[in-house]
């Protein structure tokens, strides 16, 4: 079991750690540096030795660690082996049969014996994380370098907190990864969403009229935080997954002021309780969708104790527009949980969630099809399984499809097998962070069946970009530009930049006659998108559409990926993009803490 300090020593030895000695502000500066670094190849883990808060006049003696999951190689080191090897172990256990022969029985016995390590072990003595204890009047959250990561954030947020909770009857314990807004020296906003296990526990305490104990841990073995976001079934303690991956039991100690057990080697522990009757406005917060989540009432955690190890490290992350370190955390999750997903969908071969689809917005799955409608059956299965139920857009391809990360070849494969009848549009639950649906928590879903043979025909009369733009602008002068992709396939994709002055559905009505020249049309806002930047266009499109409202199938496929407002009958507040502060970025560039050019800024939509 390696502490965070040990991990940094290993990463520095292997050339994956970048140490920043210059004082950097916890308000925006540290997060902006990390945001830029993780978009580079190869990116490194960052250690900020001298964090400061200039507004409060604080110089912290606690370094800040960012981007601990910096790239594929670092993530593999954290797991101890390639995630596919862990998945193979899970699959082998799931398909165990009674052994035949003495050697086979011994082999099986050793595997079963190793499973004892999945169960966390409770220690009677205090842990490293309790070398320093502060309670009552000693409590001061300002002693911790909690970051404000984005200009419009409602304040500083703990972004890599391991949030430990337990059920009312004490039979179940949960580890989740939830953000926490710092309100003052003694209070945190607890952002657990309605679909999460901790929220289910919260409901139990609320119904019983009791305060809910919560303990937040920061740092320690990086694998703890990955386990906190792993999509395990309800009621399964995530640290059992830690024991399986490490083949070593997590060692737990009891919190000082409540009955929650946490890893003994974490760096910082914040203990407290939540009054279910009291909610306080939390947010806004620049989130992993690349948009701000808006202000909403959430529970408040009153801090009852802060404990630390000697010389602690503060671990944080920055979320926003992809790619970020959640890309590598998600890669591990995707690979390791493939065998478990196959139990629900046995003909599944592989699946992939591109980071610019921000995971729950887009999944691509390869499957073995056996009968007509098989892919559509899979769609319903996916949308009914755990966290897969939040996926908005699912594309299914056959067993002969290219590798799911070969995006160019895969896109050609999909477009050559796609027609309006391939699309399934339905309704289901969506992530609480989704902003595109007309109401929270429920929205449209789109499934695409591209498992069959190549379709016949193609486009009737393909026009050049200039010719098609002239035709469209004659119909609607709000069309500012267009670009066609994959014109050599059966379904060329035309993306239109639109200066939105009316509902895009009205524009669709006006261009129906252009069906001879188009197969797939996607409309985006002209002022927020570059038609040459396909990576960020996919991010924007998958974020911005609700399939029930925004996708038409006749006379050709038309998709409205613009921001929605009253013109569309959208009455919620549409959130803004997460963007860096230009002055802060310029200051960091002048000080040599960030090295980027204008092309880098455009490529990732940084400003």
What pLDDT digit, counting tens, does each position of 425-480 carry?
999 988 888 999 999 889 999 999 999 999 987 787 899 999 999 999 999 999 99
Buried b (16+ CB within 10 A) or exposed e, 491-523: bbbbbbbbebeebbeebbeebeebeebbbbbbb
Taking all residues of the chain, what is their mean pLDDT, rounded to a whole number? 92
Residues 359 and 490 in one domain: no
Q: Is residue 295 part of a domain?
A: yes
CB atoms under 10 Å from CB of 583, counted, come to 10
The two three-digit tokens of residue 63, written as one number: 């370094």
| Interval 333-353 mean pLDDT | 89
Alpha-carbon Rg for the chain, nearest whole angstrom, is: 25
pLDDT value, residue 94:
59
Residues 199 and 278 in one domain: yes
Note every long-range contact of 598-604, with CB atoms under 8 Å and residues 24 or more positions apart, other chains counting. 600/36, 600/39, 602/530, 602/533, 603/533, 603/535, 603/536, 604/39, 604/321, 604/536
CATH number of the domain that residue 387 is part of:
3.40.1670.10
Rounded Cα–Cα distance for residues 513 and 461 (Å): 12
CB atoms under 10 Å from CB of 419, counted, come to 18
Q: Is residue 583 part of a domain?
A: no
Q: Is residue 101 part of a domain?
A: no
Helices (H), 188-322: 197-208, 222-229, 239-246
The model's pLDDT over 4-23, given as tens digits with 9 standing for 90+, comes to: 999 999 999 999 999 999 99
Residue 164 has pLDDT above 50, yes or no: yes
Q: State yes or no: cis peptide before 42, omega within 30 of 0.
A: yes
Residues 379 and 521 in one domain: no
Residues 160 and 40 in one domain: yes
Residues 220 and 272 in one domain: yes
pLDDT value, residue 207:
93
Bridge partners for 285 per DSSP: 293
Q: Is residue 58 part of a domain?
A: yes
Closest CA to 396 of 341, 344, 335, 448: 448
Q: Is residue 149 part of a domain?
A: yes
C-alpha pair distances (Å), 499 with each of 164, 256, 438: 47, 58, 22
Residues 130 and 186 in one domain: yes
Residues 421 and 558 in one domain: no
Residue with tokens 């200066």: 499
Residues 490 and 405 in one domain: no
Predicted confidence band of residue 114 (pLDDT cuts 50, 70, 90): low
CATH number of the domain that residue 170 is part of:
2.30.110.10
pLDDT value, residue 111:
52
| Interval 555-561 mean pLDDT | 96
Rounded Cα–Cα distance for residues 235 and 242 (Å): 15
For the chain, the domain total comes to 3
Residues 216 and 255 in one domain: yes
Last residue of a domain, one of 276, 300, 316: 316
Residue 105 has pLDDT above 50, yes or no: no
Residues 369 and 499 in one domain: no
CB atoms under 10 Å from CB of 276, counted, come to 17
Distance from CA of residue 197 to its chain's centroid? 17
For strand 157-158 and strand 393-397, is the pairing parallel, antiparallel, or unpaired? unpaired
| Interval 253-272 mean pLDDT | 97
**% of the chain exceeding 90 in pLDDT:** 82
Buried b (16+ CB within 10 A) or exposed e, 16-30: bbbebeeebbbbbbb
- Domain limits at 556? 465-568
Residues 308 and 370 in one domain: no
For strand 251-254 and strand 180-182, is the pairing parallel, antiparallel, or unpaired? unpaired
The model's pLDDT over 45-59, given as tens digits with 9 standing for 90+, comes to: 999 999 999 999 999
| Interval 207-234 mean pLDDT | 93
Rounded Cα–Cα distance for residues 299 and 498 (Å): 41
With a threshold of 0.85, does the pTM exceed it? yes
Residues 188 and 269 in one domain: yes
Residue 259 has pLDDT above 80, yes or no: yes
Q: Is residue 103 part of a domain?
A: no
Residue 333, classed as helix, strand or coil, is: helix
Residue 345 has pLDDT above 90, yes or no: no
Rounded Cα–Cα distance for residues 208 and 557 (Å): 51
C-alpha pair distances (Å), 266 with each of 166, 217, 240, 309, 365: 19, 6, 17, 8, 37
Q: Is residue 98 part of a domain?
A: no
The model's pLDDT over 347-380, given as tens digits with 9 standing for 90+, comes to: 999 999 999 998 889 999 999 999 888 998 888 8
pLDDT value, residue 50:
98
C-alpha pair distances (Å), 286 with each of 28, 85, 149: 12, 34, 8
Rounded Cα–Cα distance for residues 210 and 276 (Å): 7
Residue 96 has pLDDT above 70, yes or no: no
> Which range (200-209, 340-349, 511-520) has the least confidence?
340-349
The two three-digit tokens of residue 47, written as one number: 């250690």
Q: Is residue 218 part of a domain?
A: yes
């Amino acid at each position: 079991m390696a502490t965070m300090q040990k991990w940094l020593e290993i990463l520095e030895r292997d050339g994956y750690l970048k140490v920043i000695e210059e004082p950097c502000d916890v308000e925006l500066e540290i997060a902006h540096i990390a945001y830029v670094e993780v978009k580079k190849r190869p990116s490194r883990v960052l250690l900020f030795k001298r964090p400061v808060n200039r507004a409060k006049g604080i110089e912290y003696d606690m370094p800040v660690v960012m981007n601990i999951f910096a790239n594929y190689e670092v993530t593999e080191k954290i797991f101890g082996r390639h995630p596919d090897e862990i998945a193979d172990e899970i699959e082998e256990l799931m398909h165990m049969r009674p052994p035949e022969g003495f050697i086979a029985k011994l082999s099986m016995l050793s595997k079963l014996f190793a499973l004892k390590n999945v169960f966390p072990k409770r220690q009677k003595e205090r842990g490293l994380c309790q070398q320093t204890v502060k309670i009552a009047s000693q409590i001061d959250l300002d002693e911790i370098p909690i970051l404000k990561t984005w200009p419009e954030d409602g304040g500083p947020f703990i972004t890599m907190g391991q949030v430990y909770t337990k059920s009312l009857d004490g039979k179940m314990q949960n580890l989740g990864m939830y953000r926490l807004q710092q309100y003052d020296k003694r209070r945190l906003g607890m952002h657990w969403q309605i679909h999460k296990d901790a929220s289910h526990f919260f409901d139990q305490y609320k119904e019983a009229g009791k305060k809910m104990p919560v303990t937040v841990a920061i740092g320690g073995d990086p694998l703890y935080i990955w386990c906190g976001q792993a999509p395990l079934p309800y009621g399964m303690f995530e640290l059992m997954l830690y024991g399986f991956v490490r083949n070593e039991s997590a060692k737990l100690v009891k919190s000082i002021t409540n009955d929650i057990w946490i890893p003994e080697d974490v760096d910082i522990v914040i203990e407290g309780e939540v009054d279910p009757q009291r909610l306080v406005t939390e947010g806004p917060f620049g989130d992993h969708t690349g948009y701000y989540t808006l202000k909403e009432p959430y529970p408040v955690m009153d801090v009852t104790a802060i404990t630390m190890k000697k010389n602690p490290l503060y671990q944080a992350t920055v979320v926003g527009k992809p790619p970020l370190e959640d890309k590598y955390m998600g890669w591990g999750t995707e690979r390791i949980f493939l065998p478990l997903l196959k139990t629900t969908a046995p003909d599944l071969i592989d699946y992939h969630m591109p980071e610019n689809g921000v995971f729950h917005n887009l999944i691509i799955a390869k499957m073995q099809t056996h009968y007509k409608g098989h892919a559509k059956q899979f769609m319903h299965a996916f949308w009914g399984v755990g966290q897969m139920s939040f996926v908005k857009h699912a594309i299914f391809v056959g067993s002969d499809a290219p590798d799911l990360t070969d995006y160019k070849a895969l896109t050609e494969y999909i477009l050559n097998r796609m027609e309006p009848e391939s699309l399934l549009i339905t309704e289901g639950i969506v992530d609480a962070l989704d902003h595109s649906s007309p109401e929270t928590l429920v929205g449209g879903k789109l499934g695409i069946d591209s498992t069959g043979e190549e379709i016949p025909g193609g486009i009737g009369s393909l026009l050049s970009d200039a010719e098609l733009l002239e035709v469209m602008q004659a119909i609607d002068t709000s069309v500012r530009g267009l670009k066609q992709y994959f014109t050599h396939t059966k379904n060329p994709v035309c993306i239109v930049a639109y200066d939105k002055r009316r509902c895009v559905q009205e524009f669709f009505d006006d261009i129906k006659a252009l069906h001879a020249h188009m197969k797939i049309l996607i409309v985006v806002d002209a002022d927020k998108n570059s038609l040459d930047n396909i990576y960020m266009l996919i991010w924007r499109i998958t974020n911005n559409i609700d399939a029930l409202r925004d996708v038409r199938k006749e006379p050709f496929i038309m998709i409205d990926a613009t921001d929605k407002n009253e013109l569309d009958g959208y009455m919620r507040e549409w959130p803004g993009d997460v963007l860096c502060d230009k002055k802060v970025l310029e200051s960091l560039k002048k000080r040599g803490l960030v090295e980027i050019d204008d092309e880098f800024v455009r490529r990732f939509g940084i400003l």
